[in-house]
Amino acid sequence: MLNVLFFKLTLSFYFLGTVFFLLNLWEEKGERESPGLFRRSQKIALLFTAAGFLFHTLALVFRMKEAGYFPLTSLHEAISFFSWGVVLAFFLVELKHRIYILGSFILPLVFLFLMSAAALPNEIRALDPTLKSAWLGVHTTLSLLGVVGFAIAFIAGIMYLLQESFLKSKQFSPLYYKLPSLDLLDDWNRKAILVGFPLLTLGIITGALWAHFVWGSYWTSNNPKQTLSLGTWFFYLIVLHGRITIGWRAKKAAHLAIIGFIGVIFIFVTLA
């Protein structure tokens, strides 16, 4: 069961990454007294996170080999893959912007998600033949990557509200100096939803196609999973539409991104 070993390694590396990213929040520039380890916490955190990401990728690959199908059928697997996507998105944003403070917000979240995944049953199940379809793999992958986009928007929203409260209250904590500008955070929020939304759309379409192949109908009206995911889709459609037409940006957009993601997590947990 190599995938379990790799998963445990991932957890330990992400734990270390989280610790160092949180240390980095407190670290101030020019702390001469602080030992070298503390001063370089940011680089160390990035290295641990990269190592964790590598093992996470291996864990997913080995799980797929051992299971013989795309491993996205249990909540454990879904959370694991989703967390992987969030870290991937983190590295992509990081490469472009080099605003390291992002890790201090994302890694603790990822670590919490993976801890909850670890607490869930993780055995590889013998699959119902109806579920053993390529469509299902595509459907879940796309939907989960869409949610990754919403997670990034959620983080950007939290960072926005923090920075906004510093600027409004005129209280400048060390965090104020580390957080990026409001404009940039609002832009991340917008872009993350702009990427997440089409992925979720494709996810829902492929899901409907799969349902059509298996059950002969695109939509079952009394299936709460389908209804709620359509609800999510509508929510983000309105968010995007509101931004373009009536200026739901800045603080409002931050609130919406936070509400939206909490809703998605709620659906995730209650329906799985």
User: Does residue 35 bind another protein (CB under 8 A)?
Assistant: no
Nearer to another protein, 173 or 223 (CB): 173
CA neighbours closer than 13 Å in the CB half-sphere of residue 151: 26
**DSSP state string for 218-239:** S--TT-HHHHHHHHHHHHHHHH
Cβ atoms of residues 176 and 185 within 8 Å:
no
User: Does residue 101 bind another protein (CB under 8 A)?
Assistant: no
- Out of 247, 266, 270, 271, point to the residue binding another protein (CB under 8 A): 247
- Out of 54, 61, 101, 167, point to the residue binding another protein (CB under 8 A): 167
Cβ atoms of residues 203 and 143 within 8 Å:
yes
Enumerate the H helices of the chain as residue ranges: 2-26, 36-39, 41-67, 75-97, 101-119, 134-169, 174-178, 182-215, 224-246, 250-271
Nearer to another protein, 126 or 246 (CB): 246
Cβ atoms of residues 250 and 211 within 8 Å:
no
- Among the candidate windows 55-63, 80-88, 145-153, 247-255, which touches another protein by CB under 8 A? 247-255
User: Does residue 26 bind another protein (CB under 8 A)?
Assistant: no
User: Does residue 98 bind another protein (CB under 8 A)?
Assistant: no
Nearer to another protein, 3 or 189 (CB): 189
Nearer to another protein, 119 or 246 (CB): 246
What is the rounded distance in angstroms from the CA atom of residue 269 to the CA atom of residue 185?
28
User: Does residue 259 bind another protein (CB under 8 A)?
Assistant: no
User: Does residue 215 bind another protein (CB under 8 A)?
Assistant: no
User: Does residue 168 bind another protein (CB under 8 A)?
Assistant: yes
What is the rounded distance in angstroms from the CA atom of residue 187 to the CA atom of residue 190?
5
What is the rounded distance in angstroms from the CA atom of residue 203 to the CA atom of residue 247?
28
**Nearest distance in Å: CB 37, another protein:** 17
User: Does residue 108 bind another protein (CB under 8 A)?
Assistant: no
Nearer to another protein, 72 or 193 (CB): 193
Q: Enumerate binding residues for another protein (CB under 8 A).
A: 28-30, 32, 163, 167-168, 170, 172, 176-177, 179-184, 246-252
